[in-house]
Every structure is written in C-alpha cells, then in structure tokens.
Chain A
C-alpha cells in the first residue's frame, strides 16, 4: 500500500543525508559515503514499489496549500504519473549505483564527505523535480540542481580550469533558467495555474471545445520554457558549458552531466508537452534546435582527444536526439531515449572514470591496449558503446529506432537524414574511442594501468545489465509497452514500426563501427589523410565550431568591456559622490570641532579658571589655626553687635 508519507520519504532521505554530511562530515570521514549511499538506496527501495504500482496503472497525487496569493492558492504537491514514475525509477537506481561507484572513485579525497553531501543534495533536488506537480517546485529543485552542478564542477576549485568551468556552467545555464522563470510566470498569467495536471486539463479541454486560448501568450510561455531546456540540457546555442563541466569528478559527470540533470531539460519539455502541443509552430523550433544540436555535437566528438570530452559531446548529441523526438511529438520516444541513455551514458562515464582512475591519463592518444589490463571496464564500456551506437538488441537501438521512426513517420525526411548521419557519426566516434583506448598497443610506456576495485566494477556491471535490458519494455518484444504506457496521460501520434527504419539504423551503426575499426586498427594514416584533405572540416570539428571563441569575442569581451565602463562609472561617479560626501562631512566636523574646542569647552574652562582664581584668593582665610577662626567669629559678633547697636 502506497501512502503519501512513503513518497515524501523518497526525496527526504537524501536531504537528511545531505544535512548530516554537511554538518558532521568532518567526523564521519569515510562513513559519509555509506550514509549517502544508504539514504539513496533506501529511497530507491521505497520508490521502486511506488513506480511499480504506477507501471501497473496506479496514479498518485497529493497537494498541500503552501501560501495564498490574494485568494489564489499556491499548492505544492507530488504527482506520480507514468512520466514521473519512469524518471523516479531511473534517477534512484542510477543515482544509487553511481554513488556506490563514487565511494571507490573518490576514496582518499580530502573533501570526501563534502562530495557526498553535495551529491545527496543533488539527489534530493532531482527526486523533488521528478515528482513535483507544479512549475514552481520544479523550478526550485531545478535551481538547487544548478547549484549542485556548480559546486561539483568546481569541486577541485584549486584548479583554475575547474573554477572557470563551474562559473561558465552556472552563468550559461542561468540564461536558460531566467527564460524558464519568465516562461512559467507567463504561463501563470495566461492560464492562472502552475499545476501540471490542471494545465493539462485546461489545455485539453480548450482543445476539445475549441475554446479561444490566448495562443500568443502561450507561445511566449512555451518558448521561454524551452529556453530552460536549452540551458539545462545543453542544446545549441547554450551547449558550451557541458564539455567544460567535465572538470568535475567523473561520477559527477556521470550522474549530473550525463544521466539526470541534463535530462531534466528534456523532462521539462515532456512535462509541458500539452502546452507545446497546444501552441502551433513551437514544435518545429524544438525539432530544429534538437537536430542541430545532435548533428553538431556528434561532428565535434569525431576529433576530440579527451576521453571525457568525447563523451560530453556525445551526451549533447544524444540530448539533441531526445529534444528532436519531443519536437516531432514523440513523447514516448524522447522519454524512452532519456531512460536508456541515462543507463548507458552513466556506464560510459563511469567506465571512463575507471580508465582515468586506473591509467591516470585522460588523453586517448596516450592510452591503447588497456583491454587486457582492465577487462571489466573494457567489456562494460564496449557494451555501453554498442548500446549507444544502436546495435540490437541493446537498449540504445530500441530508443534510437523510436526517434528515427518518429522522424520518418511524420515525414520529416531531412531530420531523418540528419539523425541517421548523426547515428553513423555516433557509432564512429564511440568506436574510435574504444579502439584507441582499449585496443592496439600501449602508446605511452609511462601509463601503468590497473583494474579498478570491485566497489567500482560492480556498479559498472549493474549498469551494463541495465543498458542491455532497459530497452526491452519499449521494444516490439514487449509490444511497445512503454509507448502505450506514456500515452496513457498525453495523446500524441504513434507510428507503425518500420523495418526500413530499423535496417537503416543497423546499417549506419555497423558502418560506423567498421569504419572506425578499419581506420584506427589498420589504416592509421587514413585519419591523417582525411584531416589533411578536408582541413576546414577538421578544424571546424576540432575547434568545436569556434563557439567558445565566438562567445568570447562577441559576448564575453563586450560584456567585460561594459563591466569595466560601469566599474569606471561606479568608481568615479558613485564612489566620488560617496567620497565627497565624506569629505564634506569631515570639513563640517572640523568646524564643529573648532566650535566645541574653543567656544563650548572655552566657556566651561573659563568658569573653572575663574573659580580657581577666586578660590586662590579666598582660601587664604583657611589657615587651619583654630584660634584664627575663633578670632574671626568674635570679631564678627562684635561687628554685628556694633551694627545692631548703631541702627537701634
């Protein structure tokens, strides 16, 4: 029996772990990891029956009024529908596995407990985001995740590159976040609610009755909300932060920058799906952004040499896939790819982390022949890469196929072609990575690789099993159960499975793998030849389309110049005003001081001096000789007597 307390416990447990670790981490030391893992796995254990119940057709929602805004109540609550149950399942399972891995990976780090505190806070935010039932709560957890991302990218803040990367990530996503904030506020102005279910109900009802909606306002809202996705899910043109985010520890890259947080942007579109459906002409924008991102990132990934950067661009590319799917009204396909991608991309990052942990290098040109030294890492890495490349029956094949089907079925053949090309490049760059890393001969004799401890390889295998099996519920083997499951709440077009699409998908994947094998195992000079013959393409890819340079020249530099001008204004005008006020005050104080010293104090001192002077005269009477006093008394009496007698 699922109670509301039970669901609330799921985000609460990681939060408690965060509080404990941040306050008592100094004493917990290595136990901090176990606390976080325990909280996370307990949350997982609690969440799984709930998710299972939702998979069986149950539906949970609960609300409590948070505050009243002029009689408009702001309600907070959770919503367990197919979408959130799916993500809750993925987040808790993947999160727990990655934290277990991190316990081994981060071992010996001086800020060990701090790391797990941040990760727990992130888990709390992510779970809250997934189960939240309104935009406000969603946005709050969204922002906490942004904070965690910032803190964890800059976890090794002694390194300048890490500190800069965290700043870049924070500022870049902020652009999207502001858009998101404006978006849901506009939405509130348009329909008067922030609750997902209420919004869905309102829009569906309006659609049915052909009621007039303020489409213009809704379009603005949807566009702004999509800005949030562009920022958080690293879509073109705000994708630049994600590759730099790889400065963070690898488990963080796996958890936040591959599996969960970056998927939150996709989740946001999925959550707002009725809104995007209700507004005409917004979905093509989503599709365009997604396709451009998918293609561009895959193209960049072809020539990168840092193992984590290749994976980062791969993540961007796959996120582009998901966004494209959503843009093509494929809610099921997009969400499906989100889940499968979370598993195999987390696995890829953890595998890369294991390689870095064992070989202590990140540049794939210095690796090679690691297969025999790190068999567990290599095998799981290859499984994940096959899943990503789209080889059946691994999970990635089914989800990618759904997306391609959505493009094919909806008649967007240009999108279909680009996605197919992207799939080819994906297979190529992943296997370029694998052949350079695990096969061939060791190119750097200084690298002494060794397999990682079981604490790290066991999560790898768990995720590998997940990467293999998680695609089954959405595959024809289970009659597309997942798609029907997602279609329970939101209606979107579905397409008949096409053998042609599947065949294309398999062919490009196999082609990509084969080409990578030929080039990087046999004909190594081919790569050089290609780079020489197409220098502009090569440079474009190697320099990441010059995005960083472009932003640096046209946004960062002008912005800095403006800042300097404003700083100059601040310094001369504002500071000048303050300083001159200060100087004027000091001058006035000087005058007052003079008055005080010479007039007020002078008067007081003059009185004192006068009394002192008079005293110096009159004190002579006080001789101390008693007879003098007596004489004075006597003479006085005589004087009074004489005076008295004379008068009378």
Chain B
C-alpha cells in the first residue's frame, strides 16, 4: 500500500483552497461564490483530517471536526442561499457586481 505523504495532501488542499478563493473573488454569480466558499471549507476539512491522521494520537478528533464543519457549512449554505433568494426578489439579479447596497 502506497503511503501518501502528508505534504501531498496539504498541497492538494492548498490547490483546492486557492481555487476556492479565486472563485470567491472573481465569480460574478453569487451562487458561484457560495460554491467557491464550500470548496474552501472542504479544503479546510481535508487539512483537518490529514493532520489528524498523520500527527494526532487519536485520528477521530479531526474527523469529528470535519463533521462539524460539514454541518455548519450546510447551514451556512442554507442561509447564504436564503439571502440570495431574498436578494433576487428585490433586485431581480444574482450578479454580485450589480449589487452594491452596502456602499457608503
């Protein structure tokens, strides 16, 4: 069985996070932004599990953390989608560059 070194997993998670941050910053569609955020959360999850597996005495710790993060991500996604729906109702758009309600 080929043992995957920790660094590979970390690099993978780094790539995933970078894709996520890139998406969150450049995508115009808010749903896309939400998806990108999910990617970043997942990158974090991978990190948690990887560190847990390679360094921790009890690997379950990271997995439990990951489960929590998944649950919270789900609720965050639900809230985010609700905001998007509400936004759509008043502005008829889901394009982030067309909405600047928080401007001074």
Contacts and interface: CB of A to CB of B under 8 A. Distances in A.
Interface of A: 619-620, 622-627, 630-631, 634
B8 to A, nearest CB: 22
B25 A627 contact: yes
B104 A622 contact: yes
A625 B96 contact: yes
Nearest to A622: B104
B24 interface: yes
B25 A623 contact: no
Contact of A622 (B96, B97, B103): B103
Contacts of A627: 24-26, 33, 96-97
A620 B104 CA distance: 8
A620 B100 CA distance: 13
A624 B101 contact: yes
B104 A630 contact: no
Nearest to A635: B25
The contact size tier of chain B is: 10 to 19
A630 B97 contact: no
Contact of A634 (B21, B33, B101, B103): B21
B102 interface: yes
B96 A634 contact: no
A631 B102 contact: no
Contacts of B104: 619-620, 622, 624
Nearest to B101: A624
B25 A626 contact: no
Contacts of A619: 104
Interface in B86-104: 96-97, 99-104
Contacts, number: 33
Nearest to B102: A624
A623 B100 contact: yes
Contacts of B21: 634
B103 A630 contact: no
A630 B34 CA distance: 12
15 contacts: A622-B102, A622-B103, A622-B104, A623-B100, A624-B104, A625-B96, A625-B97, A625-B99, A625-B100, A626-B96, A626-B102, A627-B24, A627-B97, A631-B25, A634-B25
Contacts of B25: 627, 630-631, 634
B24 A624 contact: no
Nearest to A625: B100
A619 B101 CA distance: 14
Nearest to B28: A627
B33 A623 contact: no
A624 B33 contact: no
Contacts of A626: 33, 96, 99, 102
A624 to B, nearest CB: 3
Contacts of B96: 625-627
Contacts of B26: 627
Contacts of A623: 100, 103
A619 B102 CA distance: 11
A-B CB proximity, top 10 nearest: A624-B100, A624-B103, A622-B104, A619-B104, A624-B102, A625-B100, A631-B25, A626-B96, A627-B25, A627-B96
B31 to A, nearest CB: 13
Interface string B25-55: 1100000010000000000000000000000
Contacts of A631: 25
A626 B97 CA distance: 8
Given A624-B99, A625-B97, A626-B102, 14 more contacts: A619-B104, A620-B104, A622-B102, A622-B103, A623-B100, A623-B103, A624-B102, A625-B100, A625-B103, A626-B96, A627-B26, A627-B97, A634-B21, A634-B25
A630 B100 CA distance: 14
Contacts of B33: 626-627
A528 B10 CA distance: 151
Nearest to A631: B25
B22 to A, nearest CB: 10
B5 to A, nearest CB: 22
Contacts of A622: 102-104
A627 B21 CA distance: 11
Contacts of B100: 623-625
Contacts of B101: 624
A624 B26 CA distance: 15
Contacts of B97: 625, 627
Contacts of B102: 622, 624, 626
A77 to B, nearest CB: 91
A634 B101 CA distance: 21
Contacts of A630: 24-25
Contacts of B99: 624-626
Interface string B65-104: 0000000000000000000000000000000110111111
B104 to A, nearest CB: 4
A626 B24 CA distance: 10
B6 to A, nearest CB: 19
A622 B104 CA distance: 6
A613 to B, nearest CB: 15
A623 B100 CA distance: 7
A595 B84 CA distance: 56
Contacts of A620: 104
Contacts of A634: 21, 25
A626 B33 CA distance: 10
Q: Which of A619, A625, A631, A634 has the most CB of B within 10 A?
A: A625
A619 B104 CA distance: 6
A523 B104 CA distance: 119
A391 B101 CA distance: 119
Nearest to A618: B104
A622 B102 CA distance: 7
Nearest to B27: A627
A619 B26 CA distance: 23
A625 B96 CA distance: 7
A624 B103 CA distance: 4
A622 B100 CA distance: 9
A634 B26 CA distance: 13
A494 B26 CA distance: 138
A630 B33 CA distance: 11
A626 to B, nearest CB: 6
A624 B21 CA distance: 19
A138 B102 CA distance: 91
A625 B95 CA distance: 10
**Most chain B C-beta atoms within 10 Å of own C-beta, residue among A619, A620, A624, A627:** A627
B30 to A, nearest CB: 8
A624 B98 CA distance: 10
A616 to B, nearest CB: 10
